[in-house]
Structure 1
Amino acid sequence: MAPNSTLQELATEFPSMIRVYKDGTVERLRDTDFAPPSAAGGVSSKDVVFLPELNLSARLYLPSISGHRKLPLLLYFHGGGFCIASPFCGKYHRYVSRLAAEAQAVVVSFDYRKAPEHPIPAAYEDSWAGLHWAASHRAGNGPEPWLNDHADFGRVFLAGESAGANIVHNLAMAAGNPDFGLQMRLLGVALVHPYFWGSTPIGSEPIYPQPDAKAVTERLWPFICPSSPDNDDPRVNPMTPDGPSLVGLGCKRVLVYVAEKDLLKDRGWLYYEAVGRSGWMGVVEIGETEGEGHGFHLYDLESEKAEALIKRLAAFFNREMPSLPW
């Protein structure tokens, strides 16, 4: 039930996204709907609990397949500024189902705890636990038959939108650290409209035509990560000189996708360039959608530009490439 704003005093607000009241009540303003699992468009889906101690679930997607051939495994992380949305709201369910169909991939779309009730690093910790859960199936004897029977653990990818793309970067960095003990290799990662920021404006940010969007973005990281509120924290600004080298990315392929009218576009380009010059021994590529803004594809899957993005992602997950040293 929404709070009575005439009786409760507002502590902070991100317009059209979230309100937090001084008594601690949190009101999420969008992406609170629930779309049930379905079997449509050549893809079946179902929900499973992957972290019982926190009651966290994931939605699995399985395309119609013939025989016993193995499919790429895509581990997906939704956006929402680390504070709203879930794998189960309609826009993410429809998008991931379409992506699974186009890519002919087994997809696991993970939920994670949200700020402000669960500030960073909760989302990273939950997502890392999701990777370990997926890895438990690599020998074909994990708890989920769809992964045991149909996932190719030689072709494992991570992908996400916005905050989910930020999670993907941080997971890939952790996967590249042998001390973290992930018993699964990542072939590639795809970052769509990644949420990266920093304290010093770059590129077109100083003249971005929507100052309110800049103000919201400046406030977001301190809101979701009060223990380290600096916008140059390397988790939100991987290009900061004080952060770990991007040479440590634990995968062999990176795709960055940006949108021309997105405030975060220049950060995506900077990330692409930084990965390319870091000495990382992999292949990095970038795509840009002209005339569109942040997350445009999630709202109009039938549009020509959304279809082009989805096809580019599907090709990335299925592309054959020469063997590279692990």
Structure 2
Amino acid sequence: MDRSNREVSVDVFPYIRVYKDGTFERLAGTQVVPAGLDPQTGVLSKDIVIIPESKVSARLYRPNNITEVDQKLPLVVYFHGGAFCISSVSDPVYHNSINMIVAEANIMAVSVDYRRAPEHPLPAAYEDAWLALRWVASQVQDPQEAWLKDHVDFERVFLAGDSAGANISHHMALRLKESNPTPKLKIVGIAMINPYFWGQYPIGSEAEDPVRKAMVDKWWMYVCPSEKGNDDPLINPFAEGDWSTTLAGLGCEKVLVILSEKDILRDRGRLYYDNLVKSIWKGKAEIMETEAEDHVFHIFNPNCEKAKALIKRLASFINQS
């Protein structure tokens, strides 16, 4: 459809343009690539519908060189980024990234395809992520998916994600502690790459970059039209209540926070790590920061040495005893 002469209502740069007639156009994250064997990494993937009633789907990944039926590997449940409004598990940059993680760490992965705004404003993405975790839990005692039945060690399950997906991982770990499905799902750790947290009032370098701050402000208000704005607990876990007690509810043993020096979200990620260390949570927190790089650089430049180092650190976090 030709939108060149139509009047714009809201420009959610660089993701979505909304027109006054109510239609919208995604400006990024719209490309798709099919599942299958990736010749560069030797990783095999396939798409499945995991919750037919709500149409929640996922892309499953496994090393193609598994020869023994009973070879058990760690499982990573991955939530992709995209500010809750763009991208998908079939986005080439995410598909490529998960292939690289699976190959480097020698793991199984379930990449969750959650619903996006504006068709499905938040908390739809969180609800889909929760349904996906309940599905993974259901495979523990009654495995229906052959890849998981044959090759997953359910004592070594991790949550991971970048940007919005890292945010989802945090909230899923909190929810698991509070209302773990039956059978219980044990989450060893969560890996948060450039986590998407925010707040109404600037901290750190945010005050020095009003242009980018205004841009990030608009993202959240678009996907989550809440009266609490950018201090909604979904985006700002430290806006209200006893955050130390809240963080103590993380249902995992360890957390890895990965930051990028030039990322506008960097100081929020650092605050999350610092508060986690100071909280009454009993787990182990780790942090990594990549110098001179911006938000999710490893997704867009996966073959650079710094991206490879990030993937190796993530693999080490998953595989360390």
- TM-score (normalizing by structure 1): 0.93
Deviations 1:129-173 (A, max 9, x none): 01011111112x322110111111100000001001010111111
**Measured at CA, do residues 69 and 181 of structure 1 come closer, stay the same or move farther in structure 2, by a change above 3 Å?**
closer
Aligned residue for 1:109, secondary structure, equals strand
Q: Provide the C-alpha distance between the structure 2 equivalents of 1:112 and 1:241, rounded to a whole number of angstroms.
A: 27
Deviations 1:238-285 (A, max 9, x none): 122326521110111100000000001010010001111111010001
Aligned residue for 2:301, secondary structure, equals coil
Correspondences of 1:83-122 after superposition (within 5 Å): 83-122=85-124
Task: Tell me which residue corresponds to 2:200.
Answer: 199
**Measured at CA, do residues 186 and 94 of structure 1 come closer, stay the same or move farther in structure 2, by a change above 3 Å?**
same
Query: What 5-or-longer segments of structure 2 have no aligned partner?
Result: none
Maintained 8 Å contact 1:221/1:229: no
Task: Tell me which residue corresponds to 1:16.
Answer: 14
Maintained 8 Å contact 1:76/1:110: yes
Shift of 1:66: 3.7
Correspondences of 1:245-284 after superposition (within 5 Å): 245-284=246-285
Aligned residue for 2:273, secondary structure, equals helix
**Measured at CA, do residues 91 and 178 of structure 1 come closer, stay the same or move farther in structure 2, by a change above 3 Å?**
same
Shift of 1:180: 6.4
Maintained 8 Å contact 1:45/1:61: yes
Task: Tell me which residue corresponds to 1:319.
Answer: 320
Structure 1 vs Structure 2 CA RMSD: 1.5
Shift of 1:181: 5.9
Correspondences of 1:139-150 after superposition (within 5 Å): 139=141, 141-150=142-151
Maintained 8 Å contact 2:166/2:191: yes
Aligned residue for 1:281, secondary structure, equals coil
Shift of 1:194: 0.3
Maintained 8 Å contact 1:61/1:108: yes
Task: Tell me which residue corresponds to 2:222.
Answer: 223
Q: Provide the C-alpha distance between the structure 2 equivalents of 1:15 and 1:27, rounded to a whole number of angstroms.
A: 11
- TM-score (normalizing by structure 2): 0.94
Maintained 8 Å contact 1:289/1:305: yes
Q: Provide the C-alpha distance between the structure 2 equivalents of 1:192 and 1:49, rounded to a whole number of angstroms.
A: 26
Query: What 5-or-longer segments of structure 1 have no aligned partner?
Result: 321-326
Question: In structure 2, what residue type is equivalent to 1:311?
Answer: K
Maintained 8 Å contact 1:234/1:242: no
Maintained 8 Å contact 1:223/1:229: no
